[in-house]
Structure 1
Amino acid sequence: MLAALAAAAIGSARGEAAKGKPNILFLLSDDQSYPYLGAYGSKSVRTPNLDRLAGQGMRFDSMFVTCPQCVPSRASLMTGRSPVSVRMVRFTSPLPADVVGLPDLLRKEAGYFTGVGGRTYHLDGPPAQGDRGAPVTNDVIERYNLRDFKNRVDYMEKGGPARWKTYGDHLTAFLDAAPKEKPWFFWLGYNDPHHPWNTVGKQGAVDPAKVEVPGDMPDLPGVREDLAKYAGEVEHLDDDVQSVLDVLQARGLADDTLVVFMGDNGMAFPLGKGALHDRGIRVPLLVRWPGVVAPGTATGDLVSGEDFAPTLLEAVGVAPPKSMSGRSYLKLLRGEPYEKRAHIFAERGPHGGDGGMKPDVSAATFDLARCVRSDRYKLIYNCTPHQPYGPVDSQKGPAWQAILQAHREGKLAPKFERAYFTNPRPTYELYDLQSDPDEMNNLAGKPEVAEAENKLKAALTEKMILDWDFLPLPVR
């Protein structure tokens, strides 16, 4: 009885603290492309828990991160700016101390208790220890005291994987540390569905024969094998998300908490992670906010990863600083009229650790590219087109190996040959997403789309100038 009363008192105190300033639970999956949730109509995955969460709030159908890679994308989410503008295009860069971020402002301007847990947040440079080895880089970072994220949050999770039986345990530990009188922000990162794909959900393994093969991938046994493994990881993630939402409910905090679920970048498949095609930058986004966001709503409006921080700041009554180029979609969440985006932008840079350029480097490791996308058209600007294409992380897996084998044997359809094996790649790629959602028919340079191409080049040029981008501009 006393325990129940104590729990009720905790919930009441936190509920009072959250009035006008909701608690914020940010759940970030790793390498999850749209549409890999049942709520988006995918028949490849079984995700009842995330589908239920989508039904309790707003589902975003056109959410685009600013980079198809984890570090730069997360930098944008935390700063409301592009990776280029905050100097975070290289994986081994720590987030600069002079760049203001979401956790800083929530704590300093709105009195939030802030924390981060789960999978690494990726914003402090390479691991300080471990077998991945970056001795020179780490020496410089340590000598100049560049690891700054600890100064942005009140709570940094400690303890290895053995400490956590469920993902709900991460939230439990954070809530136990949080002051009862303050609203809180907790960023919880998931491992799934990051490659390698070696987990499955409670419903068991996914049958390769039942997965949907996207139109820009050949229907080969190896492709189906990898898609089934990926689906299993998403289903495992679905169970892990529910373990966190169960803790929120048990603590009496569900009604006072704004829950955001999204992916950090796309899946490690061909034209996915590391690529500026939609599979690399289009991710799921679900927002549940009881009493504010109407349940069962959805939007197809373009939203950028740059918009995340400004939106949460406005949601708690803090004006986003002028340095943030992102645009708040708080009015959209409230169902109010607002001016929607005409374009989203994304960039691609080096992938993974450093260690010097090699003569046979592929685009999987190093590629410099930018893109701009409207509702209908997308322009990709390839500034290093001579590197041969290769997928990030999964080059040795069954899918890419099956594609390579079919290529060597001359059995790939022409559209797949063009997509994967054109070398050099075109400097410009232009896709009409209305007639070609798979982004397979490059229209760049064709007279009938010249007006659309020129408008996108102009929009991208403006963005690159305002972000102090180091690459050559697409137009003068």
Structure 2
Amino acid sequence: MKVFALVLAIITLITSSSVRAADSTTGAKQLPNIVLLLSDDHSYPYLSTYGSPNVKTPVLDKLAAEGMKFHRFFTGAPQCVPSRATLMTGRSPVAARMTRFSSPLPRDEVTLPELLREKGNYYTGVCGRNFHLDGAARAGAAISEVFKDHNLQTFKDRVDYLNTGSDVQVSGQVEEFLAKRPAGKPFFLWASFSDPHHVWNAPAEFRPDPKTLVLPAHWPDLPALREQLADYFAEINRLDQTIAGVLATLKKSGGLENTILVFCGDNGAALPHGKGSLYDPGSNVPFFIHWPSVIKAGGDSRTLLSGEDLAPTLLAAAGIEPGNKMSGRSFLPLLKGEKYQAREHVFVERGPHGSAPVTVNMTNAGYDLGRAVRSDRYKFIYNCTPWIPYSPVDSAGGAGWKAIQEANAADQLAAGLRATYFTTPRPVYELYDLNADPSELSNLSGKPEVAEVERDLRSALAKKMILDFDYLPLPALLGDDGLPANNKKKGGGKKQGK
């Protein structure tokens, strides 16, 4: 397609300049600039750098190839607001009190740009799509008055530059931000993009042929779903071109020198098994870091990383201690090729979505309470509102989900898909072996052969919930015999030896 030829030409222009890590006049080491490029509703593996045949993303692919890309980066939640709160605070959405989607970030939660400005003298900014941390934009006049009366919208005080708009405006906002930057100051800029969030309206030139798509096992192969997926992947292809324009603007303004470029999705695709769900496609997002003066090109890691880890890592890159409440862990040593102790678990939470009111016949698209813990191989999910039936967030009215419902009604869905999407009530506990079942369709919870694994994951989740002062009841912990330890009667069954 012609558009990709144009994009490749822009790539050559962008990457032709070298990155300098020292001041050319004094030789003094400078603090790195930091640019966070955040896509919206973007599941892994949907960049072509990850081998996905469904998309063509040459700009992002080249940046990833010149830095380090990660296959297992998990956001703190499968939803925009709480996941962004985690990225900015280095804390879980639960700990940061951001599990209600329409909440503004509490003023006493200290963010990454604030620490960079206070401790590193950074010039800081946010631009692009709504950043989602000043409360629901469409909550109505009464709610807006509460925000105003109690001064709850705080981001105007947290950054030096705040300007939101559509994707086509981002390049201009980046240019304006850099023009306002005081001479000699390092900068932090968070640029958000709407793509591939609904509405899916990318031009036909970006749209792949639905017949050529390769579908994972968690999506049934139905014509209507293929059409919707083609719309979604077109948005990702358009995003790549948009980011090419932003990078060209950064280069023109001198904003690519000594700069850490981070690309990340905020949560997964608004499709079944994705956004709003605790399965991997809901929170496993594309993620890479480009920093030529420090990161060796061609880095490729399957290390488990949490959204909580981003802020501490970028602070460490600037030589700044993390906030005293941050629970994330810096992975800067991993970026530098130094010794790094990988985390054993990542944690994901699910809460209400949007401003959907409670109704008698509601689905979990609008309201759900759940927690998950994932290790290298296994995932444990704890559903605290199992009586609410499943429905995909933001795409329940689309042709794809309707086709899945019709296939289920006609008894044409595979057993795993039927169990995943149409079991009511849903199981309170789910356990998946991700090596054998990467699409998380075969629930192993309660199986004797994985009792030890389930016991350990339940305990890890309970510990996280306690430390984060979670308001949900803890999951039932299992004894050595695989039975709930906290439900046994006094003088009950014997413990099995190890």
TM-score after normalising by structure 1: 0.93
State the Cα distance separating 1:252 from its structure 2 match. Answer: 3.4
User: What residue identity is the alignment partner of 2:422?
Assistant: F
1:91 shift after superposition: 1.5
Separation (CA, whole Å) in 2 of partners of 1:165 and 1:281: 26
Q: Is structure 2 residue 188 aligned with structure 1 residue 178?
A: no
Q: Which residue pairs with 1:67 in the alignment?
A: 77
Question: What amino acid sits opposite 1:281 in the alignment?
Answer: S
Give the aligned partner of residue 7 of structure 1.
none
> Which residue matches 2:152?
146
Q: Deviations over 1:411-432 (max 9, x none)?
A: 1121111110000000000000
Paired residues in the alignment total: 459
Task: Say whether residues 1:134 and 2:143 are aligned partners.
Answer: no
Q: Does 1:198 align with 2:201?
A: yes
Q: Structure 1 CA distance, aligned partners of 2:237 and 2:298?
A: 22
Residue identity in the other structure for 1:21: L
Whether 1:156 and 2:157 are equivalent positions in the alignment is: no
Query: CA 1:91–1:301 in structure 2 vs 1: closer, same or farther (change >3 Å)?
Result: same
SS at match of 2:206: coil
Distance in 1, Cα, partners of 2:467 & 2:207: 47
Q: Deviations over 1:221-242 (max 9, x none)?
A: 0111111111100000000111
Structure 2 equivalent of residue 117 of structure 1: 127
Distance 1:17 1:423, change over 3 A: farther
1:31-46 matched pairs, under 5 angstroms: 31-46=41-56
The AA in structure 1 aligned to 2:424 is N
Hey, what's the Cα distance between the residues in 1 that align with 2:207 and 2:432?
A: 35
Structure 2 CA distance for aligned equivalents of residues 16 and 410 of structure 1: 73
Q: Is the 8 A contact 2:371 2:382 kept in 1?
A: yes
Q: Alignment partner for residue 297 of structure 1, among 299, 314, 317?
A: 299
Q: Distance in 2 between matches of 1:15 and 1:44?
A: 47
Q: Does the 8 Å contact 1:385/1:427 carry over to 2?
A: yes
Residue of structure 2 equivalent to 1:6? none
Deviation at residue 133 of structure 1 after TM alignment: 4.4
More displaced, 394-403 or 455-464?
Answer: 394-403
Q: Tell me, yes or no, if the aligned pair for 2:348 and 2:373 is still in contact at 8 Å.
A: yes
Paired with 1:165 and 1:126, the residues of 2 have a C-alpha distance of 23
The one-letter code sitting in structure 1 at the alignment partner of 2:304 is L
- Pairing of 1:25-424 with structure 2 (within 5 A): 25-127=35-137, 132-157=138-163, 161=166, 165=168, 167-200=170-203, 203-355=205-357, 357-424=358-425
In structure 2, give the amino acid aligned to 1:178: R
Deviation at 1:291, TM superposition (A): 1.2
SS in 2 for 1:285: strand
Q: Larger deviation: 20-29 or 340-349?
A: 20-29
Answer yes or no: is the 8 Å Cα contact 2:65–2:299 preserved in 1.
Answer: yes
Cα distance change of structure 1 residues 349 and 30 upon mapping to structure 2, 3 Å threshold: same
* Amino acid in structure 2 at the alignment position of 1:413: A
Give the 3 Å change call, closer, same or farther, for CA 407–96 of structure 1 in structure 2: same
Say which SS state the counterpart of residue 250 (structure 2) adopts. Answer: helix
The aligned amino acid for 2:156 is K
Alpha-carbon RMSD: 2.0
Match of 2:14 in 1: none
2:42, 2:238 → 1: CA distance?
Answer: 12
Report how far residue 289 of structure 1 moved: 0.5
Asked if structure 2 preserves the Cα contact closer than 8 Å seen for 1:34 and 1:283, the reply is yes
Residues 117 and 157 in structure 1, CA contact (< 8 A), matched pair in contact too: yes
Amino acid at match of 1:453: E
C-alpha distance in 1 between matches for 2:82 and 2:26 = 36
Query: Displacement, 1:434?
Result: 0.8
Alpha-carbon shift at residue 70 of structure 1 (Å)? 0.2
Give the Cα separation in 2 of the matches to 1:305 and 1:267.
17
Is the contact made by 2:386 and 2:425 (CA closer than 8 Å) also made in structure 1? Answer: yes
Name the % identity. Answer: 51
Deviation (angstroms), 1:445? 0.2
1:15–1:54: structure 2 CA closer, same or farther, 3 Å change rule? farther
Partner SS state of residue 157, structure 1: strand
Q: Which amino acid aligns with 2:58?
A: P
Deviation at 1:255, TM superposition (A): 3.3
CA distance in 2, matches of 1:401, 1:93: 31
Alpha carbons 2:210, 2:227 under 8 Å: kept: yes
For 2:282, give the aligned amino acid: G
Distance 1:112 1:176 in 2: 15
TM-score, normalising length: structure 2:
0.89
d(CA) in 1 for partners of 2:471 and 2:168? 45
Alpha-carbon deviations, 1:237-262, whole Å to 9, x = none? 00011111112222333231100000
**Equivalent residue, structure 2, for 1:468:** 469
C-alpha displacement of 1:286: 1.1
